[in-house]
Amino acid sequence: MPSHIPTSLLLAGASAAALIVTLAFRRPSTVRNIEGPPSPSWLFGSMIQLFIPAQHGDHEFQWQKAYGAAYRLKGCFGEDRLMLSDPAAMQFIINNSKFEHSPVFHNLTKLLSDKRSLSVAKGDRHKRLRATSVRHYQPLMQKAAEGMSRTLENAMSTSPSQDINIYPMLATASLSSISEAVFGGASQDLIQEFVRTNTRAASLSTGLNGTIVLIDAVGSHLPEWVWDIVTLLPTAAFNILRRVKHLARRIGKRVVREKMDAISQGLEMENDVFTRLLSGKMNMTLTDEDVAAQTSLFLIAGQEPAAHTMAFGIYELSRNPDFQDSLRREIHSARGSDAGVVYGDMPLLNAFIKEILRMYPIGPLIERVATEDTIPIQKGQVINLAIASYQRLESLWGIDAGEFKPLRWVEGSAYRGEAIGPYANLLTFLGGPRTCLGCEFNILEMQVVFCELVANFSFTLAEHDFLRLRGSTILTPTNSAGQKGAPFRVTQIV
């Protein structure tokens, strides 16, 4: 997927060499005879339609209906790609070590995080960190959600009759939860600076254009050492990304130093993730440097995806007022019970979250590349795992797969046949050896935040703006001007 790193120097200096090598040594594609949409351009293939439609899925979902769950799609420079939304084929690739992350993913990971990052880890280290219990972080999440309620109340008091962009509030609540859970109360000053810088970096994703698509296509064919040199160019985008990585490294080292000092002094320790890693409670062989290296992973992967998903949730509540009212009644009933809120006993809330995750997978397209020849895929073949298409596959989810229908989960008719995925048979959190580290954390966070917001506020569609989905590296909510945002009309529940 595009990594959103614009620089004309890369195109001018490296594209010719990469193209010569690529075209000279490219073997005939083993997927070239598979049916697929016609390519509108040799230069871009169908990548503009795939990555930069007016609304996410405009072309992709139509291609799936026309060509099925496996079809050929032309990439840049005439490259053949394989688009998959077939459950059996996707499961095979996700669980097969012969299919690795694409060069574009590795290039972006190197820019934003340390080489020790568990974002590229597999096996026991990944599994142990993912298995960490998240229930004891619920009070932190509740505190963050209540803070968001107060912020929303203040915004309404200053502009009671105007549309309100709630995305910044969702992002702040998500950041507060993840930073407290991972770092405890340490280094909040640097974390805030990191967020400001990362916000600038994230804004690059909404500015995706044809030039950036070409740059990623060229970059995926460059030798690693050439790409490393390219990323040293003094462009605005590279400067921002280098700053993000530098701040993450500073935060990680400072937090580790503070916590190791506290451990050596025998002080009472917090129960955050870094403390547990450093004290050996997770049975993981990680050095202090290894722990510090996870900072950017937690801050970047832990904030934006959750905020985006919750924005899509508010969007669907705004479009479905009757369901919003039913959900509110369930929340008020749970809050008024003697047992208090037990999220597992709230069928509408959990059905709503599952349906949001189904309709709006934060990573709608995942690239894999074959690392060696296999049947019938040859080494170097790029495969797009079409997560969003899989989760709208009519043969699996029914003829209403393209509709927001949370009651499908309550009625027990959500899917039929062999579905896959670590949560509710969804691939929003991917699956296999690289299931998302924050899966359970994100689900609990959504349960807490939606309960707080829906109990206290009513949401309707904005009167003077609208929300649009942009699909790039992650599925992003934008306003009518194409800027990241989630505008809604909000009314306080008295």
Show Cβ contacts of residue 168 under 8 Å, excluding neighbours closer than 6 positions. Answer: none
Measure the CA–CA gap between 226 and 428, rounded to whole angstroms.
33
Measure the CA–CA gap between 94 and 433, rounded to whole angstroms.
8
Please name the residue that has the structure tokens 């309100």.
Answer: 164
- Name the β-bridge partners of 165: 487
User: CB of 160 within 8 A of CB of 468?
Assistant: no
Measure the CA–CA gap between 154 and 151, rounded to whole angstroms.
5
**Which residues are part of a known binding site for heme?**
436
Buried b (16+ CB within 10 A) or exposed e, 325-353: eebbebbeebeeeeeebebeebebbbbbb
Angle at 425 between CA 420 and CA 431, to 5 degrees: 60
**Which residues are part of a known binding site?**
436
User: CB of 424 within 8 A of CB of 409?
Assistant: yes
